[in-house]
Amino acid sequence: MSWDELAPDGVYPIAGANALFLEPCRMISSAYAHYFALPHRYYSRSFFLRHHDHSADNPQTQLPQKKRKRKRKKPIHNHSNPKELLAEQRHQGIRQFILDAHQAFLAIPEVSDLLKSLEDLVHKSKGSSDCEEIHDTGTDMVDFVKLSYVWQSPFYDITLFGVQGSSLRSTAPISTFPLFKSTVENNLHKESIGICAGTTVILPEKSRFLMSDFADTWRTLASHLGNDYNFILIDPPWENKSVHRHAPYSTLPNKYLLSLPLKDLANHQGALIGLWVTNREKLWTFVEKELFPAWGVNLQAIWYWLKVKSDGQMITELDISHHKPYECLLLGYMLPHHKKDSSQVPPPKVPPDKQVLISIPGDHSRKPPLASLLSAYVPGHDQMRGLELFARDLHPGCTSWGNEPLRFQQTQYFSKR
């Protein structure tokens, strides 16, 4: 049984558990008529870096191993440190729940088919062509953050083209925008192509983005992006030792998040807010005691993203104290701005608490796409109008802001259908 037969949209509900098994490439691809997200690009870390080294199975190719004493990671419970104690209590509160969800996942009759078909897809996609030939703009991916620092950055533009029919030739240019510090919109009801800074990007239908640094735009975000969002997803570059060490992106002091003008961005009838947090207790205390009160957000539910390897096992042991195999999404509501709005808006359908999302992770810190899973819970009568802050990709009908929202939109991540 393949994903096509079992879960063509990439979302597989796990029977008997409050859990879903996600295939993010399928979820992303469902937003595009002409392209699909390349699995080998999405899962480059999971399937290739950490992939089993088969040469180790062959005694002839085995090199003599220097015996190294490996420091065993032990489940440290430093009860003398009150923060560690609180973190441990929090973990103990949900660990059985996560274990049960994982057990239910491994017990799906088709689990090995699903994992195997994913592995086949990843390896097959490695051999397939990607989209470079649409525009001959080179094969290197662009680092937009670095590009934004060069003195010429105000002169960079992005020109949008429509995509024509099955030949995927682009049409005449639709419009040109400054690449940085300007809101760029694909207002077509189909994807368009953008040419910028020597690379080609794909913009989903009705998507918008603003590529700028927090320092330059935090005061003016709402004037750039509007004030009508009923869903705001935030994945901040939290200060974190591991992020410093591997430095995939720069971090922001947590306190700066207090200045995010969330109330100005949210619809006056209220908004569903999703905030990704790491497992550090200091951060949870900051969010619960300072950040959510400052933003006016009431916490309603917590979802757990459990990261598994290509064989379905958790990426690390569950009880290692500083490196859990799960991350948390806090979901809360920003209430309507005025009392009279509250009486007109029906109370939203609240997301279920302790939902577990299971998937094989992609690039460092890349989260599975959530808009389709959360659209049922936005307040008000209307469709989801989504905004993602600190985004690295775009979604149909949504607005993305950050210093690199085009990162995963480069054509190297896609192939033609």
Cα 132 to Cα 155: distance, rounded to the nearest angstrom: 24
- The distance of closest approach from Cβ of residue 70 to ligand SAM in the complex, given in angstroms and rounded to an integer, is 29
Element (H, E) at 406: none
| 259-278 positions binding ligand SAM, by CB under 6 A | none
| 60-119 positions binding ligand SAM, by CB under 6 A | none
| 358-377 positions binding ligand SAM, by CB under 6 A | 365-367
Residue selected from 392, 394, 410, 411 as contacting ligand SAM according to rule CB under 6 A? 392
* CB atoms near residue 370 (< 10 Å): 23
CB closer to ligand SAM out of 269 and 399: 399
Residue by residue, DSSP assigns 260-327 as: S-HHHHB-TT-EEEEEEE-S-HHHHHHIIIIIHHHHTEEEEEEEEEEEB-TTSSBSS-TT-SS--SEE
CB closer to ligand SAM out of 89 and 250: 250
Cα 385 to Cα 378: distance, rounded to the nearest angstrom: 9
Determine if 235 is a binding residue for ligand SAM (CB under 6 A): yes
Measured CA distances, 182 to 56, 222, 229, 231, 386 (Å): 51, 12, 19, 22, 18
Give me the 192-231 binding string for ligand SAM, x by CB under 6 A, dash otherwise.
---------------------xxx----------------
Only segment of 180-188, 282-290, 296-304, 386-394 that touches ligand SAM (CB under 6 A): 386-394
- The distance of closest approach from Cβ of residue 363 to ligand SAM in the complex, given in angstroms and rounded to an integer, is 7
Residue selected from 94, 145, 222, 301 as contacting ligand SAM according to rule CB under 6 A? 145
- The distance of closest approach from Cβ of residue 181 to ligand SAM in the complex, given in angstroms and rounded to an integer, is 11
Contact 144, 391 (CB under 8 A): no
Only segment of 66-74, 109-117, 122-130, 397-405 that touches ligand SAM (CB under 6 A): 397-405
Residue selected from 94, 174, 252, 302 as contacting ligand SAM according to rule CB under 6 A? 252
Residues contacting ligand SAM: total by CB under 6 A: 18
* Structure tokens that stand for 240 in this block: 């974190």
Determine if 46 is a binding residue for ligand SAM (CB under 6 A): no
* Structure tokens that stand for 351 in this block: 């997301």
Residue selected from 249, 261, 302, 345 as contacting ligand SAM according to rule CB under 6 A? 249
Sheet of strand 231-234: strand arrangement: 11-14, 19-22, 355-359, 297-307, 326-334, 271-277, 231-234, 386-389, 399-402, 208-211, 183-185
* Structure tokens that stand for 409 in this block: 């939109």
Give me the 310-349 binding string for ligand SAM, x by CB under 6 A, dash otherwise.
----------------------------------------
Only segment of 149-157, 194-202, 277-285, 388-396 that touches ligand SAM (CB under 6 A): 388-396
Type of residue at 238: W
Cα 68 to Cα 139: distance, rounded to the nearest angstrom: 40
* Structure tokens that stand for 74 in this block: 């032990």
- The distance of closest approach from Cβ of residue 259 to ligand SAM in the complex, given in angstroms and rounded to an integer, is 12
- The distance of closest approach from Cβ of residue 190 to ligand SAM in the complex, given in angstroms and rounded to an integer, is 24
Residue selected from 402, 406, 413, 414 as contacting ligand SAM according to rule CB under 6 A? 402
* Structure tokens that stand for 22 in this block: 């996600």
- The distance of closest approach from Cβ of residue 150 to ligand SAM in the complex, given in angstroms and rounded to an integer, is 16
Half-sphere exposure of 177 (CA within 13 A, CB side): 16
Looking only at the bridges linking them, the beta strands covering 231-234 and 326-334 are unpaired
Q: Which of 161, 102, 111, 158 is nearest to 134 (CA)?
A: 161
- The distance of closest approach from Cβ of residue 144 to ligand SAM in the complex, given in angstroms and rounded to an integer, is 9
CB closer to ligand SAM out of 39 and 237: 237
* Structure tokens that stand for 310 in this block: 């290509």
Cα 395 to Cα 146: distance, rounded to the nearest angstrom: 23
CB closer to ligand SAM out of 130 and 235: 235
Residue selected from 194, 204, 237, 379 as contacting ligand SAM according to rule CB under 6 A? 237
- The distance of closest approach from Cβ of residue 244 to ligand SAM in the complex, given in angstroms and rounded to an integer, is 12
Interface with ligand SAM (CB under 6 A) = 145, 213-215, 235, 237, 249-250, 252, 365-367, 390-392, 402-404
